[in-house]
Amino acid sequence: MKSITRHEISYVADCSVLFEKISDMPEAIWLDSGKPASLQGNLDIMSSAADIIIETRGSHSTVTDANKTRISDDDPFKIAQDVLDPLLPLDACYEDLPFTGGLIGFFGYDLGRRLIDMPNKAKSLVDLPDMRIGRFLWALTVHHDTKTAEAVFHEYCPDTLKSDVLKRLCDSPANGEAKEQDFRLTHSFTATTSKTEYVEAIATIKRYINSGDCYQTNFTQHFSAPYEGDEWRAYKRLRKATASPYSAFWRWPSQALLSMSPERFLKILPQKMSNTLLVETKPIKGTMPRGKSPQEDFKNEEILRNSPKDRAENVMIVDLLRNDISKNCTAGTVKTPLLFALESFPNVHHLVSTVTGDLLPESSPLKLLRDCFPGGSITGAPKKRAMEIIEELEPLRRSIYCGSIGYLSANNHMDMNIAIRTIVASDKVMHCWGGGGIVADSVAENEFTESLDKIKLLLTTLEDSMDKPSPRT
């Protein structure tokens, strides 16, 4: 049995203070619950200095271990499992820990091309991996519900790394803070797709729906803007404006991801009483902007709660996800304990449903993730045909956007987001997407407005960094 050591750390509500203490370490990553501003999240996980990095591009994966790199054509999920397995087994006494060493990183939307047979028409946007995950041997976990924090180290974690981490976390001020640079956009975000092209695409999707090809297709539009300076500063701006429960920040040479996601894709949590692994997915379908006054805000809530279109759209994706998780869940355990719950964020209200099930004993978190990937809430239904239509109509590949960011721990805990409200920074250009589910009664003008409502706060927050904002086109 592998062992874990635990060290109590002073609790801080704003975990950016803690992350800055390790932010200059290699592969520093933060899975951010948005506290103290976000009401939904309650757990933060941060780590650094991964001992193995896996990057997948197309049919090839590179596995870098101690400055040595090998290339593999194996299934990326199998490679990930092979990297995770040496950290096992762990004693049952560690079941309460959310992270005991394991994998943290992203599975980009375009990884779905390895899983679902579909044409390759969309142009590649940036030279980003389809999957990038690291094996991390330590983590700082912060529980906001109990106001506790602890550093957890797998027995494979080198003593030198452990000493460095503990010194950083216990010292003040933050080690990385002095190296921060300022941040600013040098031009406003511009759209890749014109409004006319967007409207034409919606009309095409509706023709496919009317001909029986699909029930719903998620269509997105892309924006980009050049920038200068520190992506961490940009993330702090976004976090202050729109804290979200499934956020993330990760930076590596010349690239970074800044995710302010409000949506959970898949969570696995061991259940001590039943000795089972509980699966949970929480799809979002249904959006309404926040009102300018309390009265208008309440009115918008009621409109969304009672919208037949949004409720029908939500149910379609709930049915898809019930089917997806059923492939790896015990028969009869898949349930929908919550439909159409209202969740509110700084920019929008959402309808969120919850689907649960018990993971089959012969399955695993990575197998569940593979068989459900990419998430149905950002493809449409049926998934394969919706993805084919997306490939036909979206001119650029989605990259990390609409994939998943999160962690898989050696003790079978897993939590993955849907990477919406996510910005990809690559070679001094920031990329952002906004979209939504298109159904038979969708109105193109309304869908266009909704797609902007979802990301407007992200775009304007970053544009506020400019010396003199230029007109967005």
Closest C-alpha to 307, from 287, 292, 283: 287
- Phi, psi angles (nearest 5°) of residue 363: -95, -170
- Distance from C-alpha of 355 to C-alpha of 336, rounded to nearest angstrom: 4
Q: How far apart are CA 203 and CA 209, in angstroms?
A: 10
Reply yes or no on whether 263 is catalytic. yes
Q: In sequence order, what are the beta bridge partners of 4?
A: 154
- 366 burial (CB, 10 Å; 0-12 / 13-18 / 19+) is middle
CB-based contact 55:131 (threshold 8 Å) = yes
Q: Whose CA is closest to 5, among 145, 144, 159? A: 159
Contact 28, 164 (CB under 8 A): no
CA atoms of 238 and 344, how far apart (whole Å)? 17
Q: Are 395 and 123 in contact, with CB atoms under 8 Å apart?
A: yes
Residues 391, 400: Cα–Cα separation, whole Å: 15
**Could you give the CA distance from residue 267 to residue 342 in angstroms, rounded to a whole number?**
20
Give 45's strand partners.
31, 141
**Two tokens, residue 400:** 């990390």
- CA dist 229 and 227 (Å) reads 7
Phi, psi for residue 229 in degrees, rounded to 5: 100, -155
Residue 346 amino acid letter: P
Token pair belonging to 308: 């037949």
Element housing 381 (H / E): strand 380-381
DSSP per residue, 164-230: HHHHHHHSSS-SSGGG---EEESS--EESS-HHHHHHHHHHHHHHHHTTS-SEEEEEEEEEEEEEE-
β-strand pairing of 216-229 with 429-438? antiparallel
The answer to whether the CB of 230 falls within 8 A of the CB of 243 is no
What's the token pair of residue 304? 């969304």
Q: Which of 49, 157, 82, 71 has the alpha carbon at shortest distance from 366?
A: 82
Active-site residue, selected from the candidate residues 20, 27, 263, 394: 263
Q: Which residues are catalytic?
A: 263, 285
